[in-house]
């Protein structure tokens, strides 16, 4: 069953293939220019730092629904080991096994494909078991330090202590309303953080409710982001877009539009709760954001420990 | 064999136990205040971003010498999987197994102990196989965004294309010289990056030469950092300090002074080559540094993808 | 809270410390002599082979209840990789991460300790993060090939299609009844397989019901096994013994008696369903059993792929 | 570059596709019939058990040459953890990450493909990252318990304390000579163990020498095995066949003939040293062999802990 015309119509309008040359592997991160970085830095007022990552632990957000996407297994490989003899300085080491998309993460540009293609017309089969992503791997991403803007849709639609219902499709109109409430215009090179409040289920101990049904970004929002030339988008859900899907039988269309058509990273499982409080307290919804990819060679995703500096 | 008096004498002078209260678990990261962050942000001029992490890959810096500290094993758990049926959007996922101290990383405060103690007098046996670090775990670290200063000892001592010999002990006098060459004073809350050039061996394909013998920080340098109230120190070696050790049979004294006595993070395997070139080009050796810990619950270390913004 | 007198009374009666010398690390596996092996071989009549392991897969028996005991994560590290050039023979490789006690396994002799001690008076702290089990590791176990006897308690107590209720404590009287029904006497060096039928829950897709509450071996059964000088015991449950425990607040007493006091391996999550059918069809309840430990150096347990040859 | 005619000529002669039906997924293991098992059991004389697996440890045979084929990383997930409170029975758990082909192992039938095909004409692309081997996975293998025959080519060609040179191609004539020296005829359903002595390099601490150059089985030997309807073949080398290859630029032909054409498992890194001594002592070169695959769902290989019972 091919993807429907409704998808392809949007795809054409947001497509960035070739925009930064035939060899481009970083997509909309091209939009983070030195000037954008300087402007991002200029947003800092108080120096308040807000971390956005969930703890990396076995009791993470994954429930086993997605085979292979395992929560972090943290193990010790040495504990107070007096490797140089009794009474010497002792060392402790640890190791981890985890899915790169399991916790707070960026979806890399190879995380989804459609019609056999990746962003910038790379063949999907350029991703292999032995090498991972031959093109578009996360190790090639430039440093992600830019202006962040929080679009607190939960606050706008459900009040300052509220969150969106599981069936809430986040629309361009929601984004407009949140942007207006924020009093700042989203600009080229920004990373937009869309808060739904859904992560409160996980923080309250209910992983199942967190996973799905879930509110998420509408198939109509990629055009909104495209029009503003956003560098990347992240939110506080497991699925990013609606799940079950907004359009029956059309699965992961927003993933495909963002990653394949636009070449734009997506972030998931970002904890925006403290940030929402901080922004509300300071009545300021833009900030310096650092959200560095861990450079896994050939990686289709990467854990990220983002920080907002207000 | 207990640690020698020479160690304990220094330990007394640099000890920070109790300085931030009996329950403190973050040590010198307390020194990164909002004011420090604002000043750090104010160092940015051009918006140039320089990443400092090595690629995370199986062909990493580890040689097998340290059991359990394994290079990243990156594996695919799905490749273009049309999970929702033929013709649908396909997903690709990956997973990793790696030592937390294997690549570009921060040593967490529990990474070494001596005399049965960790920083702030926590018992070493509070680290367990089942829970990792009950205290002082890397998940408790505040966001590491502050001013960075590059002390390019290699440049000062060996010229702009040079690097330090394997037997070179980086002394306080070396740091003084590099600080003077940098034209900026190291201040409270800074993260100091000390460049030896040793990582060029790895970048040139010679892991064995990279590992050891290695130049590294002298046992006399912790007092230098302590006097300036540095927040953390990182360099471009596998061992951080001299290896074989500066004082015969005194193993890892700098680790013990930094981590246990001072409560100060150390960074290792940081690639400072591009940064050195950038700083030389701009003739400016301080910058905004973001070097976020991945918040592994109970972790004794963490991979880090640092970025300098000039 | 120390272990109760009721435990210690039994412990004294079944204790094997010193029985095979102060340096012994294999416990009751000493009882598998060449003669026992020859007799085991002599039980084979038809050559019918019955495997007893569950598939090793992510959808395994673990539910996340026991932190760290993760189901197998099977990943591909190469798929049809023409490593020597196009058109050459291509190779496929895979890797796994798993808990050694996660699937069908043997508990090694260091899997539990009590009062700071392991079997044969080894100190519990001889197990370390850096080396695993310094003594009693599974790599030291001799080949486990001996006579197996199926004691089908489920059949005896619940009929040929039945299984034991969750609250059923398997008593010495149950074992006597099953032994009598089997028409064979348990002998020194035998491995006894005790069938409860509990694993049917897992095979039917209900992991939660499989886990607990669970029938299991009574605290009174170690004496039964000790009296017969059994080499090892395995069953078809996750917990081996009753869970919740038979004696309130006395957790894992059977583990402690078998592993610590007797030095006797335990097997868990063994699939005895096909074997029960085969034994019933052939009306013969003893057979040649091969159940080799994978020799993980320092291991406290090991997956096992047992086979019964009838 | 397609495979040469020399390969295809042999391939035609040894091909077993369709022999056990179009749906067969176990190949020559079909040859282990109940009668073969009974005869295997009948070879046991003394009950002496000889294990054939190398220890599973980080210091294993892999040198990093084959990306992803990692030596076992054994980590502790709990050490003497009093999970139910102080003074209770404490538990110790461990976990492992390892390549399935890293240590003593069976190559599964999907371990190599050629010309896009697997054994029995299955498409090579039926192996996927998300599911592993859809067909021919090691979880489908029947229990491998049969007669084993040691063909001690090292002894025949290099004397009782000798081993084959790195450049020694093991030919059908070598096998004939070893079979004659053994005084037993290889029969249908046997597993043949071919000893070269190469593993002595690893046992002596020289992994590099063990790896390659290596003696190994000639491209002419599959016909020898085919003519005798052997069930499987294992040896004591890393590469199984000659490395560098016997025929220049023809890589892994024996793998392709055994696995793809014949549907016959191969074993590698089997430690045959103790077995060779035992056979020489008892002057008997056949025995009962148990060499169970660990049933990894979708696995292309499996660690194995084989045992010979003499």
A211-214, Cβ contacts within 8 angstroms, sequence gap of 24 or more: A211/A61, A211/A63, A211/A65, A211/A238, A211/A239, A212/A166, A212/A238, A212/A239, A212/A243, A212/A244, A213/A166, A213/A167, A213/A243, A213/A244, A214/A166, A214/A238, A214/A239, A214/A242, A214/A243
CB contact D21 to B (< 8 Å): no
Q: Would you state the pLDDT for residue B102?
A: 98
CB contact C80 to B (< 8 Å): no
Residue D80, in any domain of the structure: no
CB contact A66 to D (< 8 Å): no
CB contact B85 to A (< 8 Å): yes
* Residue range D227-246: mean pLDDT, rounded: 96
Give the distance from CA A45 to its chain's centroid: 25
Which residue out of A44, A94, A219, A310 would a mutagenesis test of the B interface target, given it has the greatest number of B Cβ atoms within 10 Å?
A94
Residue D180: phi, psi to the nearest 5? -65, -40
Residue A289, in any domain of the structure: yes
pLDDT digit string, tens, across residues D18-58: 999 999 999 999 999 999 999 999 999 999 999 999 999 99
Which residues are A309's β-sheet partners?
A: A49, A288
Contacting residues of C for D94, CB less than 8 Å apart:
99-101, 132, 296, 298-301
Task: Pull the structure tokens for residue B136.
Answer: 């002082």
Residue D223, in any domain of the structure: yes
Tell the residue number behind the tokens 């619940």, with chain if given: C158
Q: Would you state the pLDDT for residue A285?
A: 97
CB contact A78 to D (< 8 Å): no
Nearest to B112 by CA among C258, A176, C255, A78: A78
Which residues are A301's β-sheet partners?
A: A107
Q: How far apart are CA A189 and CA B49, in angstroms?
A: 14
Quick check: D166 and D172 in contact, CB under 8 A?
no
Percentage of chain D beyond pLDDT 90 is: 96
Nearest to D108 by CA among D240, D304, D261, D265: D265
Residue C22, in any domain of the structure: yes
| Furthest CA-CA distance within chain B | 71
pLDDT digit string, tens, across residues A243-301: 899 999 999 999 999 999 999 999 999 999 999 999 999 999 999 999 999 999 999 99
Cβ–Cβ below 8 Å for A73 and D77 = yes
CA angle A303, D77, C230 (to 5 degrees): 145
Give the distance from CA A141 to its chain's centroid: 14
Tell the residue number behind the tokens 């006595």, with chain if given: B261
In the three-class reduction of DSSP (H, G, I as helix; E, B as strand; rest coil), residue B207 is classed as helix
Quick check: A50 and A306 in contact, CB under 8 A?
no
Q: Which of B78, B100, B288 is nearest residue A94 as measured by Cβ atoms?
A: B100
Instruction: Kindly report the CATH number assigned to the domain that includes residue B20.
Output: 3.50.30.50
Quick check: D292 and D141 in contact, CB under 8 A?
no
Closest residue, chain C, to D250 (C-alpha):
C88
Contacting residues of C for A67, CB less than 8 Å apart:
58-59
Q: Could you tell me how many CB contacts below 8 A there are between chain B and chain C?
A: 19
Contacting residues of D for A75, CB less than 8 Å apart:
75-77, 95
Chains that touch A (3 or more CB pairs under 8 A): B, C, D
Strand (E) positions, chain C? 49-51, 73-81, 90-99, 105-107, 112-113, 127-128, 132-133, 145-151, 169-170, 191-194, 216-217, 232-235, 265-268, 286-290, 301-303, 307-309
pLDDT digit string, tens, across residues A12-28: 999 999 999 999 999 99
Chains that touch C (3 or more CB pairs under 8 A): A, B, D
Global confidence as pTM? 0.96
* Residue range A73-82: mean pLDDT, rounded: 97
Q: How far apart are CA B195 and CA B149, in angstroms?
A: 11
What interface predicted TM-score (ipTM) does this complex get?
0.97
Q: Would you state the pLDDT for residue D65?
A: 87
Residue C268: how many CA atoms within 13 Å on its side-chain side? Answer: 25
Cβ–Cβ below 8 Å for B130 and C95 = no
CB contact A67 to D (< 8 Å): yes
Q: How far apart are CA C216 and CA D299, in angstroms?
A: 32
What is the least distance, in Å, from the CA of D97 to any CA of chain A?
9
Cβ–Cβ below 8 Å for D295 and C34 = no
Contacting residues of A for B251, CB less than 8 Å apart:
83-84, 88-89
Which residues are C290's β-sheet partners?
A: C145, C307
Q: Which of B96, B124, B125 is nearest residue A98 as measured by Cβ atoms?
A: B96
Class of residue D2 by CB neighbours under 10 A (exposed 0-12, middle 13-18, buried 19+): exposed
Q: How far apart are CA A10 and CA A3, in angstroms?
A: 12
Give the CA distances from residue B256 to residues A234, B11, B116, B267, in Å, rounded to whole numbers and listed in that order: 40, 9, 12, 14
Q: How far apart are CA B98 and CA B102, in angstroms?
A: 7
Which residue out of B71, B73, B81 would a mutagenesis test of the D interface target, given it has the greatest number of D Cβ atoms within 10 Å?
B73
Nearest to B262 by CA among B31, B62, B88: B31
Q: How far apart are CA B243 and CA B167, in angstroms?
A: 8
Q: How far apart are CA C248 and CA D2, in angstroms?
A: 70
Residue A237, in any domain of the structure: yes
Quick check: C89 and D251 in contact, CB under 8 A?
yes
Closest residue, chain B, to A71 (C-alpha):
B95
Contacting residues of B for D67, CB less than 8 Å apart:
58-59
Residue A78, in any domain of the structure: no
* Residue range D252-276: mean pLDDT, rounded: 98
Q: How far apart are CA A94 and CA D88, in angstroms?
A: 27
CB contact A297 to D (< 8 Å): no
What is the least distance, in Å, from the CA of D287 to any CA of chain B?
38
Residue C60, in any domain of the structure: no
Q: How far apart are CA C179 and CA C150, in angstroms?
A: 8
Q: Would you state the pLDDT for residue A65?
A: 87
pLDDT digit string, tens, across residues C275-308: 999 999 999 999 999 999 999 999 999 999 999 9
Work out how many domains chain C is built from and give that number.
Answer: 1
What region, left, alpha or beta, does residue C52 occupy, with left being phi > 0 and alpha being psi -120 to 50 degrees? Answer: alpha
Q: Would you state the pLDDT for residue C1?
A: 65
CB contact D41 to A (< 8 Å): no
Q: Would you state the pLDDT for residue C192?
A: 98
Give the distance from CA A83 to its chain's centroid: 41
| Residues in chain C with pLDDT values less than 50 | none
Q: Which residues contact D281 (CB under 8 A, 6 or more apart)?
A: none
Q: Would you state the pLDDT for residue B1?
A: 65
Quick check: B76 and A67 in contact, CB under 8 A?
no
Task: Compute how many other C-beta atoms are within 10 angstroms of the C-beta atom of residue A97.
Answer: 25
Residue B235: phi, psi to the nearest 5? -145, -175
Q: Would you state the pLDDT for residue D1?
A: 65
| Mean pLDDT per 10-residue interval, chain B, length 310 residues | 90 98 98 98 98 97 92 97 94 98 98 97 98 98 98 96 95 98 97 98 97 96 98 98 93 98 98 98 97 98 98
Q: Would you state the pLDDT for residue D182?
A: 96
Q: How far apart are CA B173 and CA C203, in angstroms?
A: 70
What is the least distance, in Å, from the CA of B250 to any CA of chain A?
8
Residue B88, in any domain of the structure: no
Look at chain A and count its residues. 310
Cβ–Cβ below 8 Å for B38 and A46 = yes
* pLDDT grade for A1, boundaries at 50, 70 and 90: low
Which residues are D243's β-sheet partners?
A: D214
CB contact B96 to D (< 8 Å): no
CB contact A86 to C (< 8 Å): no
Quick check: B300 and A92 in contact, CB under 8 A?
yes
Q: Which of B68, B79, B97 is nearest residue C97 as measured by Cβ atoms?
A: B97
Q: How far apart are CA B105 and CA B11, in angstroms?
A: 24
Q: Which of residues 131-170 of C touch D (CB under 8 A)?
A: 132-133, 139, 142-143, 145
The DSSP string of A12-81 is: HHH--TTTT-TT--SGGGGG--HHHHHHHHTT-SS--EEE-PPPBSSSSS--SSSTT-PPPEEEEEEEEE
Residue B158: phi, psi to the nearest 5? -125, 5
Query: What is the extent of the structural domain holding D35?
Result: 5-54+104-309
Contacting residues of D for C238, CB less than 8 Å apart:
none
Q: Which of B68, B76, B97 is nearest residue C130 as measured by Cβ atoms?
A: B68
């Amino acid at each position: 069953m091919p993807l429907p015309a409704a998808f392809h119509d949007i795809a054409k309008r947001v497509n960035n293939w070739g925009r930064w040359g035939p060899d481009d592997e970083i997509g909309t991160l091209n939009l983070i220019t030195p000037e954008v970085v300087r402007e991002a830095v200029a947003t800092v007022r108080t120096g308040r730092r807000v971390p956005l990552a969930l703890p990396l632990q076995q009791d993470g957000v994954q429930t086993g629904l997605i085979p292979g996407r395992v929560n972090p297994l943290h193990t010790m490989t040495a504990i107070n080991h007096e490797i140089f003899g009794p009474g010497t300085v002792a060392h402790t080491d640890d190791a981890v096994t985890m899915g790169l998309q399991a916790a707070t993460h960026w979806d890399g540009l190879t995380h989804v494909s459609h019609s056999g293609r990746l962003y910038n017309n790379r063949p999907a089969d350029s991703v292999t078991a032995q090498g991972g992503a031959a093109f578009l791997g996360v190790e090639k991403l430039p440093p992600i330090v830019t202006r962040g803007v929080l679009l607190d849709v939960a606050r706008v639609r459900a009040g300052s202590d509220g969150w969106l219902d599981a069936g809430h499709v986040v629309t361009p109109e929601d984004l407009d309303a949140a942007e207006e409430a924020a009093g700042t215009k989203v600009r080229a090179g920004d990373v937009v953080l869309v808060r739904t409040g859904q992560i409160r289920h996980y923080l309250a101990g209910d992983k199942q409710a967190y996973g799905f049904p879930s509110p998420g970004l509408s198939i109509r929002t990629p055009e909104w982001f495209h029009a503003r030339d956003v560098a990347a988008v992240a939110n506080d859900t497991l699925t990013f877009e609606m799940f079950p899907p907004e359009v029956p039988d059309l699965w992961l269309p927003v993933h495909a539009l963002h990653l394949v058509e636009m070449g734009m990273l997506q972030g998931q499982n970002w904890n925006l709760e403290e940030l929402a409080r901080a922004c509300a307290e300071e009545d300021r919804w833009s900030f310096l954001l650092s959200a560095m990819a861990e450079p896994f060679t050939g990686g289709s995703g990467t854990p990220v420990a983002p920080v907002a500096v207000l």
